[in-house]
Structure 1
Amino acid sequence: MNTENPGCLTGVARAVALVIVLPIRLIWDAFAFCLKQLWRWILAPIGRALGWLIHYLIVVPLRFLWEWVLVPVGRALWWLADLLIVTPLEWLWRWVLLPVLKALWWVVDLLIVTPLTWLWRYVLAPVGRAAGAVLAWAWRIAGLILRAVGRAIGWVLWNVIGRPLAWVYRVVLTPVGHWLRTWVWAPVAAAARAVRTAGREVRVALFGGLR
């Protein structure tokens, strides 16, 4: 292949590209033209017709129904509810229930709250404080008395029982224990050891050593 003439190669490449692209561009332009005509003569008129139908068959009747039926009916119902329910209830609350509740609260305050407040403030609270003070004093004095009685009982028990027992233990039992340990228990233990030793020697002499 001759590669020395780049202009010839460029012309050939352009011719090949034109042959490939031209049918694609032709198909694309035809498709775009068809879509444009479809939109202009079919889809757009159908859309406008549907919009007109929706507006005049749905929106306008609903607006008419809202403005001339639902709103007046709602206002009439609210007027009736206000006239027959809200206003009587408001009147009943303002002129009957509220005065009755105020009167009841006045009676309760006069007959119950005020006497109980006075009773607590001038009788129960002072009596409670005085009783608390008396009980605290009695508790403290009882503790002092119990501690004194406990010390006295401890002194009596020590002098009546503890001190004699300590003297007996120190003066009598301790020397007796020492004497028994030295002159009784030690000889008995030595004799027992001697007996065990003799018995073991006799057993070995008669029966031989244990295997």
Structure 2
Amino acid sequence: MARPFRRARPCSCPVSDGGSEGLERNAGTCSCVLDDMENHPSPQPSEGCLAVAVRIPVRIVVFVLVVPVRVVWDLLAVGVKALGRRVFAPVWRGLVVIPFGWLYRAVLTPVGHAVCWVGRGIGAGIGALARGVGWVLATLVALPLVWLYRTVLTPLGRGTAWALKGIGLGLAWGIKGIAAALSWVLRAVFVWPWVALWRWVLAPLLRHGLLEPGAWLYRHVLTPVGHGLARLASLAAAGLALTGRGLAAVGALLLVVPALWLYRTVLTPLGRAVRVVVRETGAAFAHAWRAAGFVSRAAGRALKWLAWNLLGRPVRWVYVTLLTPVGHWVRDAVLRPVARVALAAGRAASETARSAGRATREALASARRTVRTARQDAWRALVGGPPREPAAHRARTLGSTTTASGAVPAPEISLSEAEG
């Protein structure tokens, strides 16, 4: 990779004052010229002939194969996007978003508010009950127990502890004396005889009868024999190591050298060629995919231009020039008068319906008055006086007192006697 070009710094050599001729004469000794020569970018390594030979045919073949695939891919992408915008999004909104939004606003929100209100009420009730129970427990249980503890149990416990402490001290002194006596007796009976036996009898016997002969045997017999065996083992290990090195040299000569030659002479060039082919094929696919994208977009723009000029412009001209004036004339000359006539007819029908309703209500009121008059006349003919109906606003108590305000006890007489 070429190094970045640095800005030329002013030359500080004495020969630079002499102009270009002096600089050329002393180019071998001027450090500024050497620095400028070092700052030039180094040449890029040229690619191999295999890469150059493979690149063009592979790109041509891949471009021919990839262009139809890219065109079909772009068409599918456009179709899927249009289908998602025009079909899936409205269906999703109509079947999921709107129903669930209505369900959330109209059902779940009121139910949640009701549940929260009930929960707050239950929580307030439980809190009040808990406060009442806590007050009862603190007043009727805790305070008596605290008074009992401070007044009765604490002095009683301190006196008991003082008495038990004195008894414990006496028992401790007694047990300590008894333990000292027993310890002295047990040491005199069980420890001191065995210590004397070990110190004066068994220890000298073991030292002179077993340890000293064993040490002499280890020093003068076992140690020389072990040294000889170790020497023999080292000689055998050296022989085995020499044999192993010889076998390794033979194996390397028969296996490693041919394998290394095969790797360097055959596999390495073949791998490099395969790597070049794979790299160029991948680069060709990427280049062909990008070029096919440009081709596909250009073809799409061309088809869009043709469709607009062959179909869109005539349709737009027909709509703007013919259909829009006709539609405006139909709206102004036909639809609006018809709407006004329909509105006037509707208003007349509503006025007629209101008049009919008022006439019907008046007829029904007149019929009710006629029926009421006939009933009064029939009652007067049967009883002999005008009918008496109890007032709805007065309280009937039948001579007893009542709690209703303004109630007056009525006489306990029948209706016929009152009419007579």
**TM range, smaller chain:** 0.5 to 0.7
Q: Percent identity?
A: 31
CA distance in 1, matches of 2:269, 2:340: 94
What are the residue-to-residue correspondences of 1:166-181 with 2, within 5 Å?
Answer: 166-181=316-331
- Per the alignment, residue 198 of structure 1 pairs with 348
TM-aligned CA deviation for residue 188 of structure 1: 3.0
Distance apart, 1:93 and its partner CA: 2.9
What letter matches 1:100 in structure 2?
A: G
Say which of 96, 101, 105 aligns to 2:247: 96
Q: Structure 1: any 5+ residue segments left out of the alignment?
A: 1-33
C-alpha separation in 2, matches of 1:197 and 1:53: 143
Match of 2:247, SS state, is helix
Kindly indicate whether residue 317 of structure 2 is the aligned counterpart of residue 147 of structure 1: no
Instruction: Name the residue aligned to 2:333.
Output: 183
Alignment partner of 1:107 out of 231, 234, 258: 258
CA distance in 1, matches of 2:242, 2:281: 54
The residue number in structure 2 matching 1:56 is 207
Change beyond 3 A, Cα 1:69–1:194: farther
Q: Deviations over 1:56-99 (max 9, x none)?
A: 39x938x749947699679848956984xx56753453222453
Residue 124 in structure 1 maps to residue 274 in structure 2: yes
Once the two structures are TM-superposed, the CA of residue 165 in structure 1 deviates from its matched residue by 1.4
Taking a change above 3 Å as real, the CA distance of residues 173 and 92 of structure 1, as seen in their structure-2 partners, is farther
The one-character-per-residue Cα deviations of 1:127-162 (angstroms, maximum 9, x if unpaired) are 445545554554454334333322221211110011
Classify 1:110/1:200 alpha carbon distance in 2 versus 1 (closer, same or farther; 3 Å): same
The alpha carbon displacement at 1:109 in A equals 2.1
> Which is richer in helix?
1
Mapped partners of 1:102, 1:47: distance in 2: 73
Q: Distance in 1 between matches of 2:316 and 2:230?
A: 108
- 1: CA distance between counterparts of 2:330 and 2:217? 125
**How many angstroms apart in 2 are the aligned matches of 1:156 and 1:191?**
48
TM-score by length of 2: 0.31
Compared CA separation, residues 185 and 173, structure 1 to 2 (3 A): same
Q: CA 1:64–1:147 in structure 2 vs 1: closer, same or farther (change >3 Å)?
A: same
What are the superposed Cα offsets for residues 2-29 of structure 1, whole Å, 9 maximum, x if unpaired? xxxxxxxxxxxxxxxxxxxxxxxxxxxx
Aligned residue pair count? 171
By how many angstroms is 1:55 displaced? 7.3
CA 1:60/1:185 → structure 2, altered by over 3 Å: closer, same or farther? farther
**Residues 116 and 205 (structure 1), Cα distance of their counterparts in 2 relative to 1, 3 Å cut:** same
Counterpart amino acid of residue 116 in structure 1: L
Rate the CA distance shift 1:76–1:167 in 2: closer, same or farther, 3 A.
same
Label 1:65 to 1:100 Cα distance change in 2 as closer, same or farther (>3 A): farther
Task: Please give the root-mean-square deviation of Cα atoms over the aligned residues, in Å.
Answer: 4.9
Amino acid of the residue matched to residue 299 of structure 2?
A: V
In structure 2, distance between residues paired with 1:66 and 1:171: 132
Cα distance in 1 between the residues matched to 2:355 and 2:217 = 134
Residues 178 and 42 of structure 1, relative CA distance in 2, 3 Å threshold: same
**Aligned AA (1:168):** V
Structure-2 change in CA distance of 1:112 and 1:201 (3 Å): same
Structure 2 distance, partners of 1:120, 1:99, is: 29
Give CA deviations for 1:171-211 in whole Å, capped at 9, x if unaligned.
Answer: 122222222322233233333333333333333333459xx
Which of 137, 141, 156 matches 2:306? 156
